Structure 1
Amino acid sequence: MAEKEQTPESVWDYPRPPALDESSERVVVTHRGVVIADSTETIRVLETSHPPTYYIPLKDFTPGLLEPVAGQTMCEFKGAASYADLVLEGGRMPRAVWWYPTPHRDYTRLADHAALYPAMFDDVRVNGEKVVAQEGDFYGGWITSRVQGPFKGAPGTWGW
């Protein structure tokens, strides 16, 4: 059966505060030949000017690869984010994954989901399509053919 073609989305039509969009798209993340996560139960966070950030159920991460670390950051919408290092044989990727253990009320569906920076991983795919990471080191957006920019994050776009 052929996959349903997605209608292109302009990130400038996404709302602020961000919306949550449950997705059955298959998300597969690999690094150094190891499957980090594989899911068809993700939540896309859609915020004006940003490509979506996919939040993957924690249950769909390969067990034993995430090691929680100290420190938090604050999102005005979602609340306090916690972080984990990704630990693979021969290396550690600091703060590669984050989640909201007790998200603010409009974002409680994210409580058991985690996001990651696609630029840090060898291969991140949505329905078989290779993801391009959002520019910059602050946002964790996932660019696919489904979304259209311009995107915030690159140098010179902070004040948009």
Structure 2
Amino acid sequence: MNLVPTGPKESVWDYPRPPSVVADSRRVTVTVGSDPVADTCASLRVLETSHPPVFYLPRQDVDTSLLRAGAGRTHCEWKGAASYWDVVTGGVSVPRAAWSYERPLGPYEALRGYLAFYPSLVRCAVDGEVVTAQEGDFYGGWITPEIEGPFKGGPDTWGW
């Protein structure tokens, strides 16, 4: 694996607010143990000031037979109501490992039919490199080698 970024650095402080949605053609995989959950080269990244990107994967590239409706809902001021999904595979259940916007608001309509995964709960990789989870887990950001912080989400960062 190449641990040195091959492209330009991205500062999360250059990302917009409200967030933007950007296509990404890098290979993204999600696994639980040795079981594949998703594999795509057609993800969407949501870029928002102070947050590492969240990768959204098209549902057709996710093994949806491994998903069960999860508990609870949350609301994003930009994207709308989020539904949560448990990943169940190989006798392991990972509660609320993924989320989706089944009826995303306005400019976020592109996220309909996509799922995002928490890299702190399942193994997420971009072009073969395992991503680091955003601290705090509320936002579910994916830290890849080209992303620079500091990042919102950890202790004492909520007031930024």
TM range (shorter): over 0.9
**Counterpart secondary structure, 1:56:** strand
- In 2, the alpha carbon distance for the partners of 1:76 and 1:36 equals 29
Aligned counterpart, 1:65:
66
- In 2, the alpha carbon distance for the partners of 1:141 and 1:111 equals 19
Aligned counterpart, 1:152:
152
Aligned counterpart, 2:141:
141
Conservation of the 8 A alpha-carbon contact between 2:71 and 2:96: no
- In 2, the alpha carbon distance for the partners of 1:70 and 1:30 equals 21
Write the letter of the residue equivalent to 1:16: R
- In 2, the alpha carbon distance for the partners of 1:54 and 1:125 equals 10
Following superposition, which runs of at least 4 residues in structure 1 exceed 2 angstroms of deviation? none
**Counterpart secondary structure, 2:120:** helix
Query: Shift in Å at residue 63 of structure 1?
Result: 3.5
TM-score by length of 2: 0.93
- In 1, the alpha carbon distance for the partners of 2:35 and 2:91 equals 12
**Counterpart secondary structure, 1:51:** strand
- In 2, the alpha carbon distance for the partners of 1:101 and 1:125 equals 24
Aligned counterpart, 1:93:
94
- In 2, the alpha carbon distance for the partners of 1:48 and 1:21 equals 14
Query: Shift in Å at residue 70 of structure 1?
Result: 4.5
- Please tell me the root mean square deviation across aligned C-alpha atoms, in Å: 1.3
- In 2, the alpha carbon distance for the partners of 1:84 and 1:5 equals 33
How many residues of Structure 1 are paired with residues of Structure 2 in the alignment? Answer: 156
Query: Shift in Å at residue 129 of structure 1?
Result: 1.6
**Counterpart secondary structure, 2:50:** coil
- In 1, the alpha carbon distance for the partners of 2:17 and 2:80 equals 15
TM-score by length of 1: 0.93
Aligned counterpart, 2:26:
25
Q: Which runs of 5 or more structure 2 residues have no equivalent in the other structure?
A: none
Q: Which runs of 5 or more structure 1 residues have no equivalent in the other structure?
A: none
**Residues 129-154 of structure 1: CA deviation (Å, up to 9, x unaligned):** 22000000311000011110001111
Aligned counterpart, 2:47:
46
